[in-house]
Every structure is written in structure tokens, then in C-alpha cells.
Structure 1
Amino acid sequence: MKKITLIIASIILISGSSCVNDLETKPKVNLSLEDLLDSDPNAVEGILAKLYASYALTGTDGPGSADITAQDAGESGFLRAIINLQDFTADGMKNRWGDGGLDPLTTTTNWTDNNKFFRLFYDRAYFTIPQCNNLISILNNNDFENSEVIKSEARLLRALSYFYLIDTFGKGVLATEENLGQSTPLPESSRSELFNYVEAELLEIETILPDRIGYGRVNRFVANMLLAKLYINAEVYIGVPRYNDAVTQLNKVIGEGGYTLDPNFVHLFSGDNDSSPEIIFPILADPVSNQSYGNTTYIVNGNMNSATMPTLDFGNLGGVFAWAGHRATKSWYGLFGNSAADLANATDRRAGLFWTDGHNFEMNDYREWTDGFPSTKFRNTGANTTISPSEFSGTDFPLYRLADAYLMYAECALRGATNASIGDALNYVNLVRNRSVATPITSGELTLDFIIDERARELNLEGHRRTDLIRFNRFTGGSYIWSWKGGTFNGTAIPEAYKLFPIPVSALNSNPNLQQNPGF
């Protein structure tokens, strides 16, 4: 084995505030992989675990640590960023704190390149990507058992970060193992260039990844799901519809993956959801070993408040440690009825996953805790087992699950995919609805308008909503208005530029090759 330079991310944290800084990180440990494996046969998988941890944790030295520069370590997590940027900017969820840039997200107004939440998400992606590059570079120069599979896992995790850059910022720099350690600023890569790169990577590693590796690790069906996400949004990303390609990938997930709908919807969002047959890829959480303020702890605790929720029921929901920040709006729960009584009487079990006591149906003031209904969809107690509430959530986040694949298939069928059947689409939608005891729909009711609403009923607070609304041409402009869109109670149109986030000023200052997105 040749001598190699290892940056052992599982031992030494590498932090940086921009993509350029990350690409300039210096080697910390010099040794041969053979020596490392002799001392610890699991060393490479330990490095791989750090890559997964970049999605699950803010840092590897406890909940107060951060891999990237952040005044509040808890704000630097991947999942927290997804909720902030995908759900609070959309119609169904709002945050009342308003501090440090949350107000512009909640009201879709005054977006600037100085907003720290745009920077934190950008920096998180460009922290994860070089870490993946490090391991891939090591494995390219060494051959041992399972090295190709492990390398493919790292490539998929890298592709996942690039996918979110494509979706949120629409551009970036293409950092790979080929330019690892390069100090010269990389050229800007367009949305199409990043799209093509991610597509090629996923198509190649799909043939290498096994059907299963282990819970919490990516497999070939995760690659299929990510490809399906890329293709279903291709008309937005590159101006070319790729719905047939999305269906090809979805058919693999649905027909070959062996996943089934969880018979208990609540189980998907409880502390024992690691046994759910529906979850394709989770972001892991644990109340002891994986403590973080940036994983599902942010969702569970953020939706709870002991002042307005009785102690017993409050504890049963698993939110003893409450932050009183997030509430759903009528754009979400209004899809189940026009009052709290309607929600209570609905047969659809998803309608009951809101706290209505002491809260107002209308969100007249998004800063007022009692305006809007907190979501009780996520909890850190068990659904099928007894788990006591704790300060940190042990509930894994279902980034990809089968119900999403079913609804994506139905959408593609309605958008004209020639390899999709309307009959199968109707069946998949009704499987999702039957699970929640919602009334089945007829073929005449299966429309794109129905699908975007059903995605809200089923998937809100799971990090998809902003992307969904953009794909349905409902995010910007004035064709679809929700309360506090554009900063007013009745809502107003917002600029087309808001389909993308502004490139953070720190990234622009670090790399002169980057150009700001239009409109900012």
C-alpha cells in the first residue's frame, strides 16, 4: 500500500466558514491505511460514520459543538436548516422567534446574502462535501474488502449535499477528489453542470450499492430515490421535463425495495421508528449517543410549550423540554377542516396531529404562540414501545419513505409520464389515504391540485414543502397566497427571484468566481 495522507474526520474536526476554506484544510495525520487498519480494523467505517454524522449532528463533541462556524451550535445542523429553509419559508409551518434571520424566512421577505441561515446551510454542504472527498481519495488509492461499497456510500452522501445545493442555491463549485486540497478558487458551476454531475454519480453507484447495508446507511434504493427527486424537479432545475426517468427510479423503489407502508402513521415519527418498514433513509437521532439541538429535537421541542399544554398530555407527546417556537397554519390543518372541531371529528388520523386546546385557528400574529396549532406529528416517545420523554429526541428523521415515492409516482403519471399508469397512481394514493383512514378518492378526483394538497397532508414538516410549491408554480408570484407570505397577514405576491436563495456573502468574498443569484 502506498503512503497516503489521511484527514481523519472522526478524530479531528475540520471546520471552515466557506467552500474555499474547506478546500484548503491541511492534513492532520500521516500514516498508511494498512497501519491504520492494523491498529483498528473498523477505522475506515469510523471515518464513514463521520460523513453520516454530518447530516445527523452539528459536531462530534456533543450538542454544543459545531463543525462549521456558528454562534449557536444547534443552528448549524443539516436537518434544522432543512426545516428552516423548506418548511418555514412555505405555507404550512411558521416560527415565532424571529431572531437572527428567522423572520425573513417565515415571512418570505427581505432575503439578503447576510442572512445567517443561508450561510449555515451553504457551509454545512461545503463541510460535508470535502469530508466525502477525503475518504473517496483514500479509497481510490487502496483496495480492501468492501472498499467499493464504502466509496459508493461516500459518493452518495456527497451527491446528496450537491442535490440540496442545486435545489436551494442553484449553483456552487464542483469540489471532488480530483481537486482535493486545491488552494486556487474553483470556477462556478451552473445548475445544469451540478445536475449532470449528480445524475452521473448516482447512475454509476446504483450498480455498486447493495440492496441493504444496515439501518441508517444508504443503499441502492436511496440512490433511486435521490435520482427520482432529481428527475421530478428537472423541469425546474434545468428546464427539461424528466418525469419518465423519475418513474423508472420510483418503480425500482416501489417494486424491488421491499418497503411497505407502516400501518401506524404515528410510528413513523416516534422514538421507536427504527423498526418502521416504510423508511428508506433516516437521519439518525439518539437521546444519549447522538445528542443534538439540530436534529428532530428541533422539531419535537420546538412544537411544545408547557404553559399551554397540560402536564400529563404534554409528557405523553414527548416534549417535556419545550421551546414554544413552531406552529402549523391553516394552510396545513385547514386541509382537514375549517375549525378545531372539524379536526377532532375527522376520520383522517393525520388531522388529529395538532394541538388545538388554547390555540386559535387563524394565525393573526405569527409571533403569538397561541395563534396557529402546534404540530404533534413528531414526538420522542414510543408508538409501539415505552420510551420516556427526554431533553434530546431519539426519533429518527425519515428523509425518504415509501409514501413519498407513491405520491411522486402519481404526480408523474398526471404530468404525462408514459411509463406510469393512472390506475397504479390511484391505487398508490389510496394506499396512503387508507393507512390514515382517510376517504379513498376516485379517478376523477386524482388531479395535480389534489396531489399538492395530499403531499401537504402527508409530508409537511418533512423538509419537502418549498420544493414542492416551486415545482407546482405556487411558491413565488401571486397565484397561490398564504398568510404572512410577503410579510402581510393576508399574504401577497413575492418575487420570482425567491425560487432560489441568495449566495451567502461569505462565500462570495471567499471565491471571486462565484456570482450572486439574480434579484439579490
Structure 2
Amino acid sequence: MKFKNIFRLKYIVALVAAVSFTSCVGDLDTTPIDPNTISGANVFDDPSNYTKALAKLYGGYVVTGQQGPAGQGDIGGIDEGASQYIRRYWELQQLPTDETINGWADGNLPKLSYMTWGSNNEFISALYSRIFYQISICNEFIRNTNGVDITVDGISTQEMNREARFLRAYSYWHALDLFGNGIPFTTEADGVGKFLPQPAGTLGGSELFNYISSELRAIEGDLVAPAPGQESGRANKAAAWMLLSRLYLNAEAYGLSAKYDSALIYTNKVLNEGGYSLVTDNQGSQYTAYQTLFLADNHTSGSEIIWSHNENGLRSKSFGGCTYLTHAAIGGSMNASEFGVNGGWGGNRSMKTLTGTLQFKSADDRNLVYTDGQQEEINDPTQFTEGYAIAKFRNMTRAGVAGSDPTGDVVDIDFIVFRLAEAYLNYAELAARQVPGASVSQSRIYMDALYDRANVPDADKLSPTELNSVESLIKYERSRELYWEGVRRTDLIRLGQFTGGQYVWQFKGGDKDGVSTPSTYNVCPIPSSDLGANPNLKQNPGY
């Protein structure tokens, strides 16, 4: 089954209806779609339904319901287009940081950019609901494939089971990273029925971290082998290694002891056993090699992408993911047709801390900043022309042809979750932290490779001081390579500079010049609706 085309498969709507959604969802209610279809009790009696149900698990990160881009949504209580998983996740990872600001006045959305949200923020609640909706349908799939060993569409049900467990661990990592250890916790062992989930553990505890770690280590050997350049939408061993690398790299941010040695083990697995390589050839395109990673045909760009959420303008229609990232970044004098879409939404721009303080060194192919008609300084966040625009995502192929959707509404760009460049950066950071087995000389090789790909002159490559500085590598190098890819919040928290006053940027804390913010905001609040529905849960401190 080609996972680039996984959305050709019809979703098993009865699987959704069969899952019990209790306090994990709160007032953003999930709706059983099409109750006239077959029931959850017998959906798995037909072997052909297994791959369709697996498609629903993968599709849950991209599409918003059974129809798309709107109508028959999986969750209610919010505009369906704004409820998309990756859109909600990206905004929480980017809008409160020094890289991005959004100018829309929709509800409580500005409070994400200002880092002034509360427990009633509907955009945070929507992601919370998406995460636990995704975990619930993974639980249902795992429950029904445990002990089943048949082959459907060339994939064994045991392979599918391991992939579902990976996807569940991936969403639980989002829950841990964003909401902490006290979130409601369920597995396939809890069965189906009305009950109030218990929290994963005590606030600030290690229970959820340990669960995610043990799950990934238990299944990574049974996932399919890495296949660089092929089926990047399918979770494989390297995707598990990358998730473990991120998990262990951020252990201290979760209140645990440092686990950098474990982060190095799994980073090295990606680097030494994955077979991946940087995309360094633009294949005759008008775009640079770096840009090809963010085009409509990025799934064929080369062997750098480890795992992605695959999007298709005809088969996975939604107003989230890279469709959102492309449209929302276009405004002012920007020509939408050059981006392969029918118009801009005039929302997301960069902060001067990205384009100024974090400016790229001399010539750098990664510098996809649009300045024509834009001013770098932001006085009024609602004005798109204040703040430089970012032209990173384009719904154009390497041949210069717009994506498959003739209306120009929905893009074909796959949202990259993991790529090899991040593994290079992880290794460099571990070497700077002097983790045994990570050498600065090898770090130099990896970082030079990123600079060579970006066509940066040798004179402007990293100095020895920069290469040995954890702050420099996280604050500057990761931003130059990975900006707007949905990792910035987590990176700044690991550095200890997301909250507090050591590092401020415009509109941090709601002040034009930026102010110190309390550490409360290192995690998001449990939605007040869920606390009211489930007395087992406790609110995160400070909310």
C-alpha cells in the first residue's frame, strides 16, 4: 500500500463511532459519523477493513472528518478547518515563540502569540481533543488487532498493530510535551464503555515519559525497516528512533534527570543505520535543494525525509497542515500564484528575532524571507505588512507546476515530522553537551554538511566557539535550519528560555517590546471543560 496515496482508502467510520469518548474530550464533542454504517462490533470481521482503519489512523493527523474540508467533522465546538491536528499543533509550537506571530483576531487566538492563554482557550482545547481522539481510535485498532495474524493488502496485521502503537506513542508524546504528566491515560486494555480515565500519573511525575519510552523500545524492532526515498508517510524503525531521540533530548524539560546518553543512542541509530542522506541536488529545478523539501512533490525530493504526514490536494482536503502553512503566510504584495494557490490568508509572519537577531549568515539558501512591501518591526500584529513574510512552503513542483487541486484551495505538500537534518542537529547539541561518544569533530562534519547544502561560504561556517555552545546550536542553528517546522517551542523550553525574562521578543507576554512570563506557560492548561467532567484530573500549576 503506497502511503502517499493512503487517502484513496475509505475511512472506517464505524471505528470512530465505536470508541468511547468520555472526559478526554470535554465539550468539544466527537460525533459518531454516519450511524447507519456497520457497527464497531463487527467492523473488523471483514479483513479488507484493516487497511482502511489503518488509513484512518494516519489520516487523523491531516483530515478533519469524513468528508473534508468541512462537513461531518470528527470533533465539534470549533470551526472544522481550524480543528485540524497539525494546524493546532503547529500554532502552539510556533505562535508563542520568537519565530512567528499571527495577526488574526479569531476568538482567543491572539493569546497564543502573546503567551497569555488560560484554561478556557478554545484553540488549546481543540488540540487536546484531537490528541485524545487520535489516541482513542489507536486504542480501538490495537484492541482489535492484538492476536490477529493475517495479511491484508500486502501488510500483516501485526505490522499494522505496531504502527498503531507508534502513532499512539507519538500522540502521547504531544500530550506530555504540551500538557504534562497529569493528562488522562487509556490503552487498549481499558476496553470500551463509559468511564472516567485516571491521570497518567502525578503532576511532574515520570509515568507518561516512561510509558512512551517503553512502548517505542518494545515495538521499534518490529516496525518496517527504513526505506529512504520511499513511503515517507509510513512509520518505520527510523521514525521510532527519531521520536526516542526527541523524547530523551527533552527529558529535563519534563522534570526528569538528563537522558542525553539515551538520546545519543537513538540519534546514532538514525545516522548510522537509517541510510538517509541530505537532499543536496535540486534536480534542475528553479528552486534550491533546501526548498525542494517544502514543495508540492517533496515526497520525491530525495532521501532526507524520515517520516511525514502526507497531504494531497484531491484526496486529503482540509484547511490545516501545509494548506494552512502556505495560505496563511501569503499577503501584502506576495503573488499567490507563485505559491501554487488561489490566494493568501494574510496571517502568519516572522518576528525580527528570526529575521534580525537570528539572521542568516551572508548568502544562505535557507533564507526564504520575503521583504518586498513588508517592514521588519511589528507595531500592530493585525497588519500583515508588519513583520517579514516567510516563503518556505510552496504548492509548486520542482518543474514549476502547481499542485493537483485545480481550485488552488488544498496543497500537495507533505508536512515533515522528522528529517535527517534534525538528527545532525541533535548530534551536534549532544556533542556540545559533552555526552560521551559524541565528538565535536563529527559534529563539525554534520554542521558543515548543512551549511554546504545551503551554499554558505566556508568563511561563514560555525566557529569553534559556536560549535561548542549549546545555546548557539539550539537558539540559532536549529532556527536557521528548522524554522517554521513546528519544533521551536520545545527547543526553547529545553534551552530554558521560552518563559522567564532571560530572553524576550516582541509581544511576549502581550507587551510590544516583550516581557518576562511565568514558567506556568511551559505547559498548557488542562481544558476547564475536561476538569469539570473528570474529577480524577488536576489542573497544571498556575492555571
TM-score by length of 2: 0.87
- In the alignment, which residue of structure 2 is the partner of 1:495? 518
- Counterpart of 1:295 in structure 2 is 321
Aligned to 1:155: 165
**Cα displacement (A) at 1:20:** 6.1
State the partner residue of 1:19. 24
Asked if the contact 2:11–2:66 (Cα under 8 Å) also holds between the matched residues in 1, the reply is no
Matched, 1:232 2:249: yes
Distance 1:381 1:156 in 2: 31
Match of 2:376 among 355, 361, 380: 361
Structure 1 residues 473 and 23: CA distance shift in structure 2, 3 A: same
Deviations 1:94-139 (A, max 9, x none): 0000211111101112x21110011111100110111011111111
* 8 A contact 2:430–2:438 mirrored in 1: yes
**Two-structure CA RMSD over aligned residues (Å):** 2.2
Deviation, structure 1 residue 237: 1.1
User: Alpha-carbon deviations, 1:135-188, whole Å to 9, x = none?
Assistant: 111111422231221100000000010000000000312210000214221211
> Could you say what secondary structure the match of 1:19 adopts?
coil
Give the conservation status (yes or no) of the 8 Å contact 1:267–1:384.
Answer: no
1:280 corresponding residue in structure 2: 306
Matched, 1:47 2:53: yes
CA distance in 2, matches of 1:238, 1:9: 39
Query: What's the % identity of the aligned pairs?
Result: 37
Query: For 2:256 and 2:166, how far apart are their aligned partners in 1?
Result: 24
Matched-pair contact (CA < 8 Å) for 2:23–2:197: no
Q: How does 1:311-460 map to 2 (within 5 A)?
A: 311=335, 314-335=336-357, 337=359, 346-351=362-367, 353-384=368-399, 386-388=401-403, 390-438=408-456, 439-446=460-467, 447-452=469-474, 453-460=476-483
Preserved contact between residue 264 and residue 427 of structure 2 (Cα < 8 Å):
yes
1:500: Cα distance to partner?
0.6
Per-residue CA deviations over 1:29-54 (Å, capped at 9, x if unaligned) read 43374x512xx3xx211100100011
Deviation sequence 1:361-386 (CA, Å, 0-9, x none): 11122221111011101111113453
CA contact (8 A) 1:308 1:358 kept: yes
Offset at residue 308 of structure 1 (A):
2.2
Q: Which residue of 1 aligns with 2:109?
A: 102
1:119 pairs with 2:125: yes
Shift of 1:57: 1.1
State yes or no: 1:481 paired with 2:504: yes
Gap change, CA 1:221 and 1:396, over 3 Å in 2: same
Q: Which residue of 2 aligns with 1:245?
A: 262
2-structure distance, mates of 1:336, 1:183: 50
- State the alpha-carbon separation in 2 of the partners of residues 88 and 23 from structure 1: 26
- 1:183: which partner in 2? 194
Residue 426 of structure 1 aligns with an amino acid whose one-letter code is R
Please state whether the residue corresponding to 1:172 is helix, strand or coil. coil
Gaps of 5+ in 1: 1-7, 338-342
C-alpha separation in 2, matches of 1:362 and 1:513: 46
Superposed displacement of residue 71, structure 1 = 2.8
Structure 1 counterpart of 2:63: 57
- Hey, what does 1:507 align to over in structure 2? 530
Distance 1:385 1:251 in 2: 36
Q: Map Cα deviations across residues 330-381 of structure 1 (whole Å, 9 max, x no partner).
A: 11111464xxxxx7x9311122x12111110111222211110111011111
Matched residues, number: 496
Unaligned runs of 5+ residues in structure 2 are 1-9, 281-288
Q: State the match for 1:340 in structure 2.
A: none
Given that 1:403 and 1:432 are in contact with CA atoms closer than 8 Å, whether structure 2 keeps it comes out as: yes
What is the CA–CA distance in structure 2 between the aligned matches of 1:458 and 1:472, rounded to whole Å? 17
Structure 2 distance, partners of 1:186, 1:36, is 31
Q: Which amino acid aligns with 1:358?
A: G
